[in-house]
Structure 1
Amino acid sequence: MPRAGLNPERVVDLGCEIADEVGWDGLTLAAVAQRAGVRLPSLYKHVANADDLRTRIAVRALTGLHESLAAAVEDAPGLELDALARAYRDFARAHPGRYPAVVRAARPDEPELAAAGGALLEVINAALAEYGLAGDDLVDAVRILRSALHGFVTLEAGGGFRMARDVEQTFTRMVAGLDAALGALRARA
């Protein structure tokens, strides 16, 4: 009989909390079991294994990032790139342990993860619509944007920006640079 109050969603909730406290690499089923107040074998009634838990957390993280980006872009018409970039950074800062899960590509046997990743790409594509890019140019734009944002938030989270310069100013300039680069892609197309 499963412990009262413990179900797959609660196990994922606990996994998310622990990841945000100790980091993605520190997330273990043993830590989740301890937090839940159960023995480790009890978790297997709710998740198949550690990979299953990590996949479920990745779906949750992608869904949360998608919702954050979609809301930000909707609330800032005409400033989609800036709003999207700031929402991306805010999500990574608010969820430092689960954020690394958003970069994982889905395997063929992970339709929920693929759907969550696809929804995230849709909102990014929509935000980039102002640049009038399509096909390979749009793919390149999405990759450029995600790489820049991921690199920035990863370096920031890891303490990689310890110079005296204000990080906010650097972020603002990076987003302006991305705007210029995406505009140049449009001009080239």
Structure 2
Amino acid sequence: MPRGRLTAADVVRAGAELADEVGYQDLAMGALAQRLGVRTPSLYKHVDGLDDLRRQIATLAVTELGEAVRAAIQGKAGSDALAAFARAFATYVTAHPGRYTATIGAEVSGPGDELYDASARVLESMAAILRGYGVEEGEMVHAIRTLRCLFHGFAALQSSNGFQWSDDAAESFDWMIDFVDRGLRGES
């Protein structure tokens, strides 16, 4: 990439791709500069260091995840929406493990913060699914956290080859969705 054309978005996207390849913890400004064909100090015209780069990668990832899950659940309800959300979530985590890791624990400051706003869109997608099951607003935070734990846990384990004892992870995934659906409908 020619130096004169490098933008902040180019730096963040290249950083996200590098994080996916080498792992979030091994993301380094020097390696990113080398990938972009610039000297490391040139990156500081676009990001305020590694912490800023990581935060911008988290924002990119949550934005991409939000777009993926919204597209997946469009026009669906109930178990179809739940399964579509979970599959889109797992697909994203598996395809982008480094940038997804950037989202975990990334702090938000409130409305107007790009990361906050992107996160709110993902949470609203989850809330829409849960409202379809009749989950009361007073229980929404708990229900969202529960689904996030389930979907995150499954996707993280699958992404890191954590289901080595058998080759039926897809069947387990379907079972998990059915289990959650039955629970949300009040069935046993």
- Relative to the length of structure 1, the TM-score reads 0.90
Distance 2:108 2:71 in 1: 28
In the TM superposition, what are the counterparts of 1:77-88 in structure 2 within 5 Å? 77-78=77-78, 79-88=80-89
- Asked if residue 76 in structure 1 is aligned to residue 76 in structure 2, the reply is yes
Q: Which residue of structure 1 aligns with residue 46 of structure 2?
A: 46
In structure 2, runs of 5+ residues without a counterpart are none
Alignment RMSD, CA only? 1.9
Alignment partner of 1:160: what SS? coil
Alignment partner of 1:4: what SS? helix
In the TM superposition, what are the counterparts of 1:118-133 in structure 2 within 5 Å? 118-133=120-135
- After the TM superposition, which segments of 4 or more aligned residues of structure 1 sit over 4 Å from their partners? none
Residue 105 of structure 1, CA deviation: 4.2
- Equivalent pairs, count: 184
Distance 1:49 1:163 in 2: 41
Distance 1:182 1:157 in 2: 26
Distance 1:102 1:172 in 2: 25
Q: Which residue of structure 2 aligns with residue 97 of structure 1?
A: 98
Q: Which residue of structure 2 aligns with residue 36 of structure 1?
A: 36
In structure 1, runs of 5+ residues without a counterpart are none
| C-alpha contact (below 8 Å) 2:77/2:129 kept by paired residues | no
Distance 1:144 1:132 in 2: 16
Distance 2:130 2:81 in 1: 8
- Relative to the length of structure 2, the TM-score reads 0.91
- Against the structure 1 CA distance between its residues 105 and 32, is the aligned structure 2 distance closer, same or farther, given a 3 Å change threshold? closer
